[in-house]
Amino acid sequence: MKKLYYSISEVSELSGVPAATIRIWENSIVQLTPKRSKGQHRMYTPEMLELVKTIANLRYVHNISLEGVRKQLSSNMTDVEKKREVMERLQALRQELLEIRSEL
Fold (topology level) of 8-103: Multidrug-efflux Transporter Regulator; Chain: A; Domain 2 (1.10.1660)
What confidence score (pLDDT) does residue 48 get? 92
Average confidence (pLDDT) per 10 residues, the chain, 104 residues: 88 96 91 89 92 93 91 72 79 91 89
pLDDT at 76: 61
pLDDT at 77 (0 to 100):
60
- DSSP symbols for 15-80: HT--HHHHHHHHHH-TT---EE-TT--EEB-HHHHHHHHHHHIIIIIS---HHHHHHHHHH-HHHH
Delimit the domains of the chain by residue range.
Answer: 8-103
- Tell me the whole-structure pTM to 2 decimals: 0.69
